[in-house]
């Protein structure tokens, strides 16, 4: 009956998920509150297991970060992120994955389903759509490992506890057989490469081999008092290699009776064990044996040992990771992939060379968290992101990350004559005096901070922040998403450095721990994002809004929804509210959230965008492409794409196609009749094509299909392009009440400076200045349309807007007022007369220049904020540099010639901004100078004026704008 019940659940989940949900409506479902999760296009917690399809085109990886990631091989580029339902603490951690031979389905499991089912679950995903297809519930213990037979017909699982192993029909979900005779956790299962047998290892010390029906063919304890872990069949099925989690030893056994055949040489290795083993081919007919785990050289990196001639030959050691290696996976074309706790995965080439190294995206606070220090008010932090790296300072109120300078920073106190805490570092039994500080089973203390006045203490553990009073009594605890490797205190504010790469602020008051904010810094690019528990956020000038998002569970058999901060930018970007929250004032955040309404329900009803067709434009026509293509035909210059859209209740807004993070096409709803067809130009070299479909109110967008392509054939050297400048300045409005004094001189001065400093950077400089009556709504849009017809991909485009900008009500969008605008309080008229940001985005989308910079210099009665201007940069993917003020005089006169913003731009182009060795000033350098300088210049005139700088692409590919004389 139990097997029949599982089969019925499997089939119902595939054929009628709505019926399954309805039938179980009374059973607890996954929690429905939004979960804020880091999404850095890589794993942020140790990677447990890997899998590949039969052709070796796709690699799957799973991690404690609760994601399954698909990667394209051999490049190693991220293909997709699949997410199971999750809950606080361990629920959703993934320990096991298996791909079907064709790569179209992924089985995934771990600590999955227990929070609502009280038993564990295996999920089945479609790797093409990312949707959950089915679930196999009712397992008595977490799944430690999954394996599929070579023909894809049988699925095996190794279970924790003493639950043993189970085998199912991989198509129907019917259980075929099980072995519950394990006296410890099952560790790994592996099918014979070209046969019927299955091998299983267990922490009870035994290795077992079964036939297809589950009959045990052999069983043995290969090494007394040791714990077998990893196992691998030789390519011909004659041998089994076995690694141990507690021994630096590998045993090679005959697969027929498990007798010992030989033991490879492990001389020179140090560490606790070699739990990962595999055989891999070298591409020339040779087979090498590999082992890894905790093996390392003294104080060095973790190694993969590679023995030649099936393991009988000499060995070489490959320094592969900075932390333990959990899994080795042979690749069909030779070489292997490995999973590491760095976190990340890597790859060895067939010749044994390290082809891809793990690249953790965030900070490694295991080695630096103990040095965390905070200012007296807790708003500034000093910490190093990597061992040996120079410390950085993050100023939350200024939104600035930079090199550490002298300042009043304090680390946590860990010693006191009144509070003597012992055994608190990396143990499960910390003590205050003689009092044991209670932790959970398997929970280890990692950091300590004594409260002011020795009133108590904070312990950071693997999964909690715990507050104890001065007697050692537990007062409060809060689950956290990673081990707390370092703590700092500032009054009633605690700051922690976590294993998921985040820094988090908590308020400790009245015996309660409340999270205030979190910060994630991308280690390589130093992009950062800062957010509150409600999801309001701020980010770095060079991006970061894509690094965090909202995970929203559906039912237990439904695919969770995901929306990055980038997708909800207009709704959630609120730097002032975030900074106020960190400073202790939660009122602005509450007010902003009240305006948003029920965001969770809206994210769950975002429209859907599906691919229909794609072709590459070449001189000979348009060559059809599959949506999983990774290369372009020779001579391709553009793509023609066709999509289908589905409204799920929020209506349909514009659809954008972006090339390498910049907008290349926009289609408004009224331009769409059913499917959308768009043609987008291609860049030299790599081209990442992404798509966005907005809801009708344009506050949120859904991410659609993506393509990662590279042009085929030899690449011609890039041609020098033109500098194309459109500068618009309006002093004399049709409504005299709107008149300004210096907008026209500012536009003229910036245009002149760009022309003068162009030097030999460009083939030609084309400057167009629209003044006053030329800058009507029709005139501005006509000028943009003319540039769209003539600008080429190799050109650089600069748009300068000087005049009035307002924030529309109630939707709070940016509206530029052209010269013929007359209304001041009638929103319906203003919208007709003005140029709304969506119109600007659509016009900019038609300008094909690869490099572009938007300069916006606006003012109007305090309505416009940096939020609306930043959103414009997020949607265009262009470098955006903008300033806004409620004080007209700050815009109008700094030195009786130019306003504050233009003055700062001219300073930068005149040599004040950073330049490279050849005197070139980049868009990035100009933006950084102006963003810092505008507030300083405004303050000199007793005004407040802010500037915002947002860079175009996440890889920070800047471009030169000017050459300045070198001293």
The whole-number mean pLDDT for each consecutive block of 10 residues of the chain, a chain of 967 residues, reads 33 32 56 93 96 96 97 93 95 98 97 96 95 96 98 97 97 96 97 94 97 97 96 96 97 97 94 96 91 86 95 95 96 96 96 96 93 96 94 94 88 95 95 94 95 96 96 95 96 96 95 96 94 93 90 94 91 91 89 79 88 92 88 88 90 90 82 69 86 90 88 61 96 92 94 93 95 96 95 93 84 87 81 89 88 85 61 82 63 74 94 91 91 88 80 70 84
Asked whether the bond before 810 is cis by omega within 30 degrees of 0, the reply is: yes
Q: What's the pLDDT at 939?
A: 86
Q: What's the pLDDT at 2?
A: 32
Q: Nearest-CA neighbor of 959 among 851, 867, 877, 855?
A: 851
What is the DSSP secondary structure assignment for residue 960, as one 8-state letter?
E
Under 8 Å between Cβ of 857 and 812? no
| Angle, vertex CA 265, rays to CA 263 and CA 270, nearest 5 | 115
Other beta carbons within 10 angstroms of residue 840's beta carbon come to: 23
Q: What's the pLDDT at 859?
A: 72
Residues 6+ apart with CB under 8 A from 333: 56, 74, 283, 350
Q: How far is CA 790 from CA 242, 660, 665, 794, 930, in A?
A: 66, 21, 16, 12, 30
Q: How far is CA 724 from CA 90, 344, 788, 901, in A?
A: 54, 43, 11, 21
Instruction: Give the pair of three-digit tokens for residue 94.
Output: 């993934």
| Angle, vertex CA 890, rays to CA 960 and CA 812, nearest 5 | 80
Q: Is 24 helix (H, G, I), strand (E, B) or coil?
A: coil
Phi, psi of 906 (to 5 degrees): -65, -35
Q: Nearest-CA neighbor of 630 among 73, 54, 59, 60?
A: 73
Other beta carbons within 10 angstroms of residue 945's beta carbon come to: 24
Residues 912 and 565: their CA atoms lie apart, in Å, by 34
Residues 263 and 291: their CA atoms lie apart, in Å, by 12
Other beta carbons within 10 angstroms of residue 532's beta carbon come to: 25
Phi, psi of 307 (to 5 degrees): -100, 135
Instruction: Give the pair of three-digit tokens for residue 647.
Output: 């409204």
Give the burial string for 719-744 (b: 16+ CB within 10 Å, else e). eebbbbbbbbbbbebbeeebebebbb
User: Virtual CA dihedral for 859, 865, 868, 870, nearest 10 degrees?
Assistant: 100
Q: What's the pLDDT at 891?
A: 52
Under 8 Å between Cβ of 628 and 649? no
Residues 6+ apart with CB under 8 A from 646: 607, 608, 609, 610
Q: What's the pLDDT at 671?
A: 53
Residues 768 and 783: their CA atoms lie apart, in Å, by 9
Q: What's the pLDDT at 823?
A: 79
Residues 854 and 905: their CA atoms lie apart, in Å, by 12
């Amino acid at each position: 009956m139990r097997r029949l019940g599982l089969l019925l659940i499997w089939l119902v989940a595939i054929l009628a998920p709505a019926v399954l949900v309805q039938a179980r409506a009374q059973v607890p479902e996954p929690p429905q509150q939004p979960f804020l999760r880091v999404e850095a296009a890589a794993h942020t917690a140790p990677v447990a297991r890997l899998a590949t399809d039969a052709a070796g085109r796709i690699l799957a990886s799973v991690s404690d970060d609760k994601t399954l990631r698909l990667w394209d091989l051999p490049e190693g580029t991220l293909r997709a992120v699949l997410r199971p339902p999750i809950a606080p603490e361990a629920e959703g951690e993934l320990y096991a994955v298996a791909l079907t031979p064709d790569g179209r389905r992924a089985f995934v499991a771990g600590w999955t389903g227990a929070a609502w089912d009280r038993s564990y679950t295996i999920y089945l995903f479609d790797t093409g759509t990312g949707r959950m297809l089915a679930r196999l519930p009712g397992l008595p213990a977490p799944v430690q490992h999954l394996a599929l037979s070579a023909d894809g017909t049988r699925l095996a699982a190794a279970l924790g506890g003493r639950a043993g192993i189970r085998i199912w029909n991989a198509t129907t979900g019917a259980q075929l057989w099980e072995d519950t005779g394990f006296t410890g956790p099952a560790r790994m299962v592996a099918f014979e490469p070209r046969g019927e047998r299955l091998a299983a290892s267990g922490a009870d010390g035994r290795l077992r081999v079964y036939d297809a029906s589950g009959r045990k063919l052999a069983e043995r304890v290969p090494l007394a008092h040791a714990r077998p872990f990893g196992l691998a069949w030789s390519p011909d099925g004659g041998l089994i290699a076995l690694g141990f989690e507690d021994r630096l030893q590998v045993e090679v056994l005959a697969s027929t009776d498990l007798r010992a055949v030989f033991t490879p040489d492990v001389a020179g290795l140090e560490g606790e064990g070699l739990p990962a083993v595999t055989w891999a081919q070298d591409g020339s007919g040779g087979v090498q044996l590999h082992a890894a785990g905790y093996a390392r050289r003294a104080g060095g990196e973790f190694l993969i040992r590679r023995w030649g001639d099936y393991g009988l030959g000499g060995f070489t050691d490959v320094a592969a990771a900075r932390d333990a290696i959990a899994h080795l996976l042979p690749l069909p074309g030779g070489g292997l992939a490995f999973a590491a706790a760095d976190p990340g995965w890597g790859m060895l080439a067939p010749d044994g060379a390290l082809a891809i190294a793990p690249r953790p995206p965030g900070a490694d606070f295991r080695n630096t968290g103990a040095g965390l220090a905070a200012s007296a008010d807790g708003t500034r932090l000093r910490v190093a992101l990597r061992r040996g790296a120079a410390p950085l300072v993050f100023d939350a109120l200024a939104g600035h990350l930079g090199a550490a300078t002298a300042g009043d920073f304090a680390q946590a106190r860990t010693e006191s004559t009144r509070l003597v805490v012992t055994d608190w570092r990396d143990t499960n039994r910390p003590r205050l005096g003689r009092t044991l500080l209670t932790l959970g089973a398997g929970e280890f203390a990692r950091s300590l901070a004594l409260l002011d006045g020795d009133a108590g203490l904070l312990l950071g553990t693997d999964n909690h922040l715990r507050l104890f009073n001065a007697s050692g009594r537990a007062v409060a605890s809060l689950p956290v998403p990673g081990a707390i490797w370092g703590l700092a205190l500032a009054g009633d504010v605690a700051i922690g450095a976590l294993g998921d790469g985040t820094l988090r602020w908590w308020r400790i008051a009245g015996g309660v721990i409340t999270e205030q904010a979190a910060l994630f810094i991308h280690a390589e690019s130093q992009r950062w994002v800062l957010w509150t528990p409600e999801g309001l956020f701020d980010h770095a000038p060079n991006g970061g809004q894509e690094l965090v998002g909202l995970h929203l569970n559906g039912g237990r058999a439904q695919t969770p929804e995901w929306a990055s901060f980038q997708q909800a930018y207009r709704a959630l970007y609120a730097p002032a509210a975030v900074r106020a929250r960190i400073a202790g004032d939660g009122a602005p955040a509450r007010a902003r959230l009240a305006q948003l309404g029920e965001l969770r329900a809206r994210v769950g009803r975002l429209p859907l965008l599906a691919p229909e067709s794609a072709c590459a434009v070449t001189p000979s026509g348009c060559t059809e492409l599959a949506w999983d293509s990774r290369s372009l035909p020779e001579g391709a210059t553009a793509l023609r794409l066709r999509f289908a859209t589905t409204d799920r209740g929020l209506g349909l807004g514009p659809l954008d196609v972006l090339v390498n993070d910049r907008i290349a096409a926009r289609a408004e709803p009224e331009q769409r009749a059913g499917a959308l067809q768009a043609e987008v130009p291609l860049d030299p070299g790599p081209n990442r094509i992404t798509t966005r479909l907005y809801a009708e109110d344009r506050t949120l967008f859904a991410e659609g299909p993506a393509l990662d392509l590279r042009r085929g054939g030899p690449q011609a050297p890039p041609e020098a392009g033109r500098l194309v400048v459109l500068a618009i300045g309006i002093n004399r409005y049709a409504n005299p009440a709107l008149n300004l004094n210096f907008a026209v001189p500012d536009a003229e001065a910036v245009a002149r400076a760009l022309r003068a400093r162009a030097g030999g950077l460009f083939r030609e400089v084309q400057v167009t200045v629209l003044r006053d009556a030329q800058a009507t709504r029709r005139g501005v849009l006509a000028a943009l349309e003319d540039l769209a017809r003539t600008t080429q991909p190799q050109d650089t485009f600069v748009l300068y807007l000087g005049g009035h900008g307002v924030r529309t009500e109630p939707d709070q969008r940016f509206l530029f007022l052209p010269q013929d605008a007359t209304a001041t309080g009638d929103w319906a008229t203003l919208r007709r007369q003005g140029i709304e940001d969506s119109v600007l985005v659509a016009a900019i989308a038609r300008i094909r220049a690869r490099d572009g910079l938007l300069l916006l210099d606006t003012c109007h009665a305090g309505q416009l904020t940096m939020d609306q201007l930043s959103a414009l940069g997020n949607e265009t993917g262009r470098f955006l540099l903008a300033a806004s003020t409620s004080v007209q005089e700050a815009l109008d006169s700094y030195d009786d010639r130019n306003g504050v913003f233009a003055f700062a731009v001219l300073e930068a182009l005149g040599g004040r901004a950073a330049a490279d060795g050849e005197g070139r000033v980049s868009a990035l350098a100009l933006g950084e100078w102006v963003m810092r300088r505008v507030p300083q210049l405004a303050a000199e005139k007793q005004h407040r004026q802010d500037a915002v700088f947002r860079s175009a692409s996440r890889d920070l590919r800047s471009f030169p704008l000017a050459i300045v004389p070198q001293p």
